Amino acid sequence: MFKDVIAQQEIKSRFIRSVQDRRIPHAQLLHGDPGVGKLALAVAYAQYISCKNRTETDACGVCPSCVKYSQLQHPDLHFVFPVIKPPKTTTVVSDDFLPEFREMFLEDPYFSVNEWYEKISDGAKQGMIYSNESSEIIRKLNLKTYESDYKVMIIWLPELMHEACANKLLKILEEPPEFTVFLLVSNNPDRIITTILSRAQHVKIPRLAESEIAEALGKLSPEKSQTEINNAARIAEGSFLKAKAMLGDSQSQIQNFDRFVEIMRLAWLVGNKRNHSSLKTLKNWADDMASANVGRERQKHFLAYAQNMVRENYIFNLKHPELNYMTDYETKFSTNFSPFINERNVEELVAELSLAERHIEQNVNAKMVFFDLVLKIIMLLKK
């Protein structure tokens, strides 16, 4: 329900007004940073549309429609989301993983795509909304509604939709069956094909304020001190998802930090000829990063993390702590490391890490990508 979504009062009011005025757009694209509540807002909006006894501010929560929404089991609510095709499986659609998706959302509606991949697989593979999903979407939306006046189709992360699937949806997006609502929920709208972008009304979901995140964290983790909560809220950059990870020192965050520290220390030792055997160690690091145990999703996540750490270390040199967004352990490491990140190498370092991330996404050989990357880091740290 809207009351369960952190802040975003202006967006809630906009959605409520559209229902009360009976002017619900048939296709809306909710976009913004991860962790600001886009998916939670979409579900709350859908529940408000279907509620039989809605109030001025929210769904009633007790009518038959709301009871079914409370378990995400309303027959007129449909979900599409990226999935990972199991081995030896020829076709897969979102409904194959719908029980897992319901479970994850009901446990906590603020979750990342990486957490979703961890739940349905080992988190190492890249997910996708496969081409055959379009047939399921069209089939469902051509059925009559069961209980509600509206059918609602929530597509989470449409930027991960196969191009063939996206192209097949263009007609139904432009001319959907009567009383059909599409809610597209995106982290990266720039990666959605323009023909879909042009068919949806765009709704920018803003970042959360520090005070809003701190208040939500206080309710979630009352055992944490106010200092810990305030610090996590400050460095979260408007994302409740990131704030939770910071407060809990998530395993993936710590793992990425350890890998970043290892590669930077090894690159510095080799570059300064302090340890000749480290070149072999660098190759071993690259081979380990390219292994099946890490997988492309985790590789991309690490490279994105490394870009952020390079930027933070450059800013760290300015000696204005209020401008930095790092945990205590990241700050401790940066005290000694930050002098090696300067105006001569910061842009190139970020560019090389970004290029490696793109290459991994494009399925370039990971061993080549990471070994080439570490060699470039050696040279750039010497500038």
* Residue 10 confidence (pLDDT) above 80: yes
As a whole-number percent, the residues of the chain with pLDDT over 70 amount to 96
User: What is the DSSP secondary-structure string of 324-360?
Assistant: ----HHHHHHHHHHGGG--TTTHHHHHHHHHHHHHHH
List the beta bridge partners of residue 152: 77, 181
- The residue-averaged pLDDT of 347-374 equals 91
* Residue 251 confidence (pLDDT) above 60: yes
- 3-state SS assignment for residue 171: helix
* Residue 126 confidence (pLDDT) above 60: yes
Band of residue 361 on the pLDDT scale cut at 50, 70, 90: confident
Distance CA 149, CA 169 (A): 22
Distance CA 311, CA 306 (A): 9
pLDDT score for 275: 60
Distance CA 12, CA 248 (A): 29
Distance CA 257, CA 264 (A): 11
User: Mind listing the pLDDT tens digit for each residue in 341-352?
Assistant: 999 999 999 999
Q: Please list, in sequence order, all residues whose beta carbon lies within 8 angstroms of the beta carbon of residue 53, skipping any fewer than 6 positions away.
A: 60, 62, 63
* Residue 199 confidence (pLDDT) above 80: yes
Q: Of 3.40.50.1100, 3.40.50.300, 3.40.640.10, 3.40.190.10, which CATH number belongs to 2-204? A: 3.40.50.300
The reported pTM is: 0.77
* Residue 362 confidence (pLDDT) above 90: no
Tokens of 56: 């001025």
* Residue 96 confidence (pLDDT) above 90: yes
User: Mind listing the pLDDT tens digit for each residue in 19-69?
Assistant: 999 999 999 999 999 999 999 999 999 999 999 999 999 999 999 999 999
